[in-house]
Amino acid sequence: EAQVTQNPRYLITVTGKKLTVTCSQNMNHEYMSWYRQDPGLGLRQIYYSMNVEVTDKGDVPEGYKVSRKEKRNFPLILESPSPNQTSLYFCASATSGRSYEQYFGPGTRLTVT
Amino acid sequence: DQQVKQNSPSLSVQEGRISILNCDYTNSMFDYFLWYKKYPAEGPTFLISISSIKDKNEDGRFTVFLNKSAKHLSLHIVPSQPGDSAVYFCAASAYAGGTSYGKLTFGQGTILTVHP
């Protein structure tokens, strides 16, 4: 089954404790992206990657890091999480020729206390 | 600065009637526009798109209209069905070279409720 998977689905952590949210896709997509969803603000893009070793900032990259060492994986790293990073996070992937038509994962609910 | 805005947080419609969801944008560099649909506890799913060289695109019950001069797009759902009840996000992107649209900017979303 073609899908984008994220782990963990739920995470409660404390301020300053480094964490990684994994994202993996099995569709051989070149393009991958991370978003956060917050009430009243919709979806905001954090980082995206057009291909392996090619990443770029979205609209809200501060406090986040990404890496794209393999085509299928695109982890999101919070080096020192803060309460304002409490949010619902989505990973997405797409083919390079139709990168606007994205397939989303199920989401990761992160709470930073 | 919200470059893509959906000014109606919610919309309620009777089954069988038309649903019209609206979206405004400010960035004139946007040249590709999309609508995504999201059910609770799921990720968004792509619904329909339109290029700036067109003013209308249809896919079954869904039609997207683009008015470039007004920087406005709308999604029409006819006829509306209870299963269409979801959050609808509009999104916009600017051509980034080659065949690429890397950065995607979303609106705040509109909750559509279709009553039986």
The pLDDT tens digits of the residues spanning B33-83 come to 999 999 999 999 999 999 999 999 999 999 999 999 999 999 999 999 999
Minimum CA–CA partner of B108 in chain A: A42
User: For residue range A30-65, what is the model confidence (pLDDT) as tens digits?
Assistant: 999 999 999 989 999 999 999 999 999 999 999 999
Share above pLDDT 90 across residues of chain A, in percent, rounded to a whole number: 88
Chain B residues with CB inside 8 Å of A44's CB? 106
Compute CA B28 distance to the chain's CA centroid, rounded to the nearest angstrom.
17
Look at A70 and B97; give whichever has higher pLDDT: A70
Chain A residues with CB inside 8 Å of B102's CB? 31, 48, 50, 56, 99
Residues of B with CB under 8 A from a CB of A: 4, 6, 32, 34, 41-46, 49, 89, 91, 93, 98-109
Show the beta-strand stretches assigned E in chain A: 4-7, 10-13, 19-25, 31-38, 42-51, 54-57, 65-66, 76-78, 87-94, 103-104, 108-112
Sign of torsion, CA B97 B100 B105 B109?
positive
> Does residue B98 register a pLDDT over 80?
no
Model pLDDT, residue A57: 92
Model pLDDT, residue A10: 97
Sign of torsion, CA A82 A83 A84 A90?
positive
Model pLDDT, residue B102: 75
Model pLDDT, residue B99: 52
CA–CA separation, B68 vs B33, rounded Å? 11
- Averaged pLDDT, A10-21: 97
Model pLDDT, residue A112: 97
CA–CA separation, B36 vs A35, rounded Å? 14
- Averaged pLDDT, A14-22: 97
> Does residue B97 register a pLDDT over 90?
no
C-alpha distance from A67 to closest chain B C-alpha (Å): 16
C-alpha distance from B2 to closest chain A C-alpha (Å): 9
CA–CA separation, A105 vs A6, rounded Å? 6
Q: Assess whether the previous peptide bond of B79 is cis (omega < 30° from 0).
A: yes
CA–CA separation, B34 vs B41, rounded Å? 21
Q: Which residue has the tokens 């206390």?
A: A113
User: For residue range A59-103, what is the model confidence (pLDDT) as tens digits?
Assistant: 999 999 999 999 999 999 999 999 999 999 999 999 877 778 899
Contact state of A104 with B89 under an 8 Å Cβ cutoff: no
CA–CA separation, B67 vs B116, rounded Å? 32
CA–CA separation, A65 vs A55, rounded Å? 10
- Averaged pLDDT, A4-26: 97
